[in-house]
Amino acid sequence: MRGGVRGRAMSLAVVDAGRSPDAVAADVGMLVSAGSVEAMVGLHTSDVHRAVERVTAGRVPYLFTPPHEGGDRLEGVALSGPGPRDQLQPVVHGLMTRRLDRWALVGSDYIWPHAVHAAAAPLIRAAGADVVSTVLAPLGGVDPEPIIAELRSSRAQAVILSLVGRDLATFNRAFAESGLQQQVMRASCALDETCLLECDGDESGELFSAMEWFAADDDEDGFIGRYSARWGPMAPPLGVYARGCYSGLHLVAQLAEHAPLDVHTFVDRVGRHHAPSGRLARAEGTRLVPV
């Protein structure tokens, strides 16, 4: 951070979180045990998150920034992203005016999509619609064709997607070739601009993202302008995951500037500074435009 924190330079130790949960947790545990980190900011899947929190709990503050599955956390573990209901309420309430009566739930088979499905079903039923199909695909190995066949046979009019990463891109590319892209509305709880670019964009008008920030938002705090000035016109596209990690680092620095970080008070202090909310945007080419 420019100027450091309380007169001290702030340095980052980066851990590759794209590996197995146990491998990531082992590396984090070594850093914590060695006294090499005073706080953790995490951007990774929830299965990794649950492994990491077991080695940080009660030892160093840990802020998890992406969308999360809700529920209790161990001591000193705070959340800054939206929970399932935060993300899903704008989807169900905003799109139910189109008389979408038959909904499907499609996600990766791990803790976060399970929670998304558990939250989505009662919201959909309370709105007077039905959940006609539920599919969980292997994480990192989605086969889109059987899922698309299931959506055809169930006559789903809308699908909530909690597939993540490359699985989400793979599914959306196959869906675009299926002939269903203008017949079935898709709303994703994991789609940002980077993933939309990997999907080759979408012009159907029927693909939505439920997040709390989009790169098309007004640049009120100058974040987009600073990013563009620093990295130039060939910089990778911004998305909510990168924004969340950036904001999380600055939030931890802000808290540390005012008082030493303490694992026992960290969660309450984060809660006083950040209240996540869900919003809805439509894919227009490779942009997500808030609706």
pTM, two decimals, is 0.92
Q: How far apart are CA 252 and CA 88, in angstroms?
A: 27
The owner of tokens 């009660």 is 58
pLDDT tens digit sequence for 107-135: 999 999 999 999 999 999 999 999 999 99
pLDDT tens digit sequence for 219-240: 778 888 999 999 998 888 889 9
In the predicted model, residues of the chain with pLDDT beneath 70 are 1-3, 274-276
pLDDT of 29? 96
Q: Which domains does the chain have, with CATH numbers?
A: 84-216+278-290 (3.40.50.2300)
Q: How far apart are CA 43 and CA 64, in angstroms?
A: 6
pLDDT of 222? 87
pLDDT tens digit sequence for 56-82: 999 999 999 999 999 999 999 999 999
pLDDT of 276? 67
pLDDT of 1? 55
